[in-house]
């Protein structure tokens, strides 16, 4: 499936992901600057992305621990998600996201 990614500098690229993979892993494979310090266990917040508003409503809802991690981010927005908590599905073809700023 295709994923449209807007990087921190505003540049946009379409990358290919596979169903069953975490979005965080796919972003790192494509050399996006995603630290993923905790390795994808929803603990660090360094895999923060903004999901396009239309897509945000279509994704499975975040679990309580993801909401808690995002709540302490200085860069949280209404469409914030942790990319390690988004498992790609075929129905997500065309998903559009932006990489959130690095935490201070
Ligand atoms: S990689 Fe740490 S919260 Fe996603």
User: Does residue 104 register a pLDDT over 90?
Assistant: no
Ligand 1 residue neighbourhood (C-beta within 6 Å): 24, 36-38, 40, 42-47, 69, 82, 84
In this prediction, residue 5 has a pLDDT band, given cuts at 50, 70 and 90, of very high
Q: Compute, in angstroms, the gap from residue 37 CA to the centroid of ligand 1.
A: 6
Separation of alpha carbons 94 and 51, rounded Å: 12
Separation of alpha carbons 40 and 1, rounded Å: 21
User: Does residue 46 register a pLDDT over 80?
Assistant: yes
- pLDDT tens digits along 51-101: 999 999 999 999 999 999 999 999 999 999 999 999 999 999 999 999 999
Separation of alpha carbons 59 and 35, rounded Å: 23
Q: Are 79 and 50 in contact (CB under 8 A)?
A: yes
Q: Compute, in angstroms, the gap from residue 14 CA to the centroid of ligand 1.
A: 22
- What pLDDT was estimated at residue 52? 98
Spell 81-103 as b/e; 16+ CB within 10 A means b: bbbbbbebeeebeebbbbbbeee
């Amino acid at each position: 499936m295709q994923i449209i990614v807007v990087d921190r500098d505003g540049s946009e690229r379409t990358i290919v992901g596979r169903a069953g993979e975490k979005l965080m892993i796919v972003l790192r494979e494509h050399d996006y600057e995603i630290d993923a310090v905790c390795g994808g266990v929803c603990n660090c917040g360094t895999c923060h992305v903004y999901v396009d508003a239309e897509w945000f409503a279509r994704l499975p809802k975040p679990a309580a621990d993801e909401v808690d991690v995002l709540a302490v981010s200085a860069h949280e927005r209404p469409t914030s998600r942790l990319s390690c908590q988004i498992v790609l599905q075929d129905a997500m073809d065309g998903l559009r996201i932006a990489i959130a700023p690095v935490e201070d």
